């Protein structure tokens, strides 16, 4: 399976803003990972601190 041929068939080009589609796919993956990490960490509740501990 050649992804470039599929992409060319669907959209007619393998570049956008003079950058390869592989760059944009990798950027999308990074954005999705960052969003997921933020959702996980922002949904966590803080731990209760013990009284008298430093």
With cut-offs at 50, 70 and 90, classify the pLDDT of residue 53.
Answer: low
Q: Judge whether residue 50 has pLDDT over 80.
A: no
8-state DSSP, 17:
T
- pLDDT tens for each residue of 21-42: 778 888 899 999 999 999 999 8
How far the first Cα of the chain sits from its last, in Å, is: 58
With cut-offs at 50, 70 and 90, classify the pLDDT of residue 9.
Answer: confident
For 5, other C-beta atoms within 10 Å of its C-beta total: 10
Comparing CA positions, the residue from 14, 15, 12 lying closest to residue 4 is 14
């Amino acid at each position: 399976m050649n992804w470039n041929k599929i992409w060319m068939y669907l959209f007619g080009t393998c570049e956008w803003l003079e950058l390869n589609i592989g760059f944009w796919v990798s950027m999308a993956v990074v954005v999705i990972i960052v969003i997921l990490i933020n959702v996980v960490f922002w949904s966590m509740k803080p731990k209760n601190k013990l009284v008298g501990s430093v």
